[in-house]
Amino acid sequence: MYSVSELKSLFDTYVESQKFRDEPVNLFEPMNYILELGGKRLRPVIALMSFNIFCNEVEKALPMAFSLELFHNFTLAHDDIMDNADLRRGKPTMHAKYSVNTGILSGDAMMMYAFHYLNLSSSDDRIQRKLNSLFTRTAIEVCVGQQMDMDFESMQQVELDNYLLMIKYKTAVLLAGCLQTGAILSNAADSDADALYEFGINLGLAFQIQDDLLDLYSDHSFGKVRGGDILQNKKTYLYLTALEEADQVTKQKLLTLYQTKTLSDQDKVNEVENIFNQLNVKKLAEKAVQKYTEASFVQLNILSVSADRLKVLRSLAEELLQRTY
């Protein structure tokens, strides 16, 4: 079996070997730009890892993995326009470097190429059909997640359950889809493919809540602003838990804090954090991470493969979840 870094390296080499058309340059050059920004390439690596649980010929899964990476980058290109984000991994986003029109159209073209590579995934027509169906459903759900996220921005309060639904669609289904895609492509049993999907959903939820925790409680020695989510008035798991736990007076105080423009950044973060502490929010969020993590590992135990073949996946998951404060 391959290690994470071996899979990443196989994938990187494959991506470099692929060429889009040469013309029109203004359509394809931006696609190469955003792909070369690289990043962790977590999704394709996870898909390859899932495939590798059932089959050693990982190179067969490279077009499928590339399809998933293209899809992910398409969502980044369009989300960055919608979110007005000019930087990603310290570099200009696609629309910031080129133009909004480029962000839209080269984004669209990446989506089309995602389907192109998806169509090259399997020589077995039955498996190919399953992959297309899963991919399309996942893509629709990711759009739903992005819309929910945008809708939440203009709402004063959001139910915690709706927040979980949003992060499920916006983040977890793609992770889960990568895992299930790898399993389907390897011709694994449906029950195994389904268990890996559920593993991904729970892992994704745990990961996202962890992310919310880290924003406030991690050691921000690397230049990231502590409490950035609070300063952006983001409706995180912490904030929404606080609203659910608070009495009327505290709740009103928190709502007001999220609207205030008179406090310094530092004071605002501290005051919100005080309320969070009062309401035991950190503990509650940690419990949620724990719950979803356990639920994800339960799925791994269901799988009809030896524990040995799950080691790599298990340790990647642990690594993802144990990013320290």
Residue with smaller CB distance to a second copy, 101 or 266: 101
Cα separation of 274 and 238, whole Å?
12
Cα separation of 210 and 323, whole Å?
8
Cα separation of 41 and 49, whole Å?
12
Cα separation of 217 and 230, whole Å?
12
- DSSP secondary structure of 42-83: HHHHHHHHHHHHH-S-GGGGHHHHHHHHHHHHHHHHHHHHHT
Among 1, 6, 12, 27, binds a second copy (CB under 8 A): 27
Among 33, 39, 92, 128, binds a second copy (CB under 8 A): 128
Give me the 279-318 binding string for a second copy, x by CB under 8 A, dash otherwise: ----------------------------------------
CB of 24 to a second copy, least distance (A): 5
Residue with smaller CB distance to a second copy, 173 or 246: 173
Contact between 241 and 281 (Cβ < 8 Å): yes
DSSP run (H or E) holding 274: helix 265-278
CB of 113 to a second copy, least distance (A): 7
Of 35-43, 123-131, 213-221, 266-274: span binding a second copy (CB under 8 A)? 123-131
CB of 27 to a second copy, least distance (A): 4
Q: Between residue 99 and residue 118, which ones bind a second copy under the rule CB under 8 A? A: 100-101, 104-105, 108-109, 111-113, 115-116
Q: Between residue 131 and residue 160, which ones bind a second copy under the rule CB under 8 A? A: 132-133, 135-137, 139-140, 143-144, 146-148, 150-151
Determine, following the binding rule CB under 8 A, whether residue 21 of this chain makes contact with a second copy.
yes
Determine, following the binding rule CB under 8 A, whether residue 271 of this chain makes contact with a second copy.
no
CA distances 318 to 43, 164, 194, 294, Å, are: 16, 21, 21, 11
Cα separation of 93 and 95, whole Å?
6
Cα separation of 16 and 291, whole Å?
40
Size of the site for a second copy (CB under 8 A): 38
Report which of 233, 219, 235 is spatially closest to residue 269, judged by C-alpha positions: 233
CB of 26 to a second copy, least distance (A): 6
Q: Which residues bind a second copy (CB under 8 A)?
A: 21, 23-24, 26-27, 78, 81-82, 100-101, 104-105, 108-109, 111-113, 115-116, 119, 125-126, 128-129, 132-133, 135-137, 139-140, 143-144, 146-148, 150-151
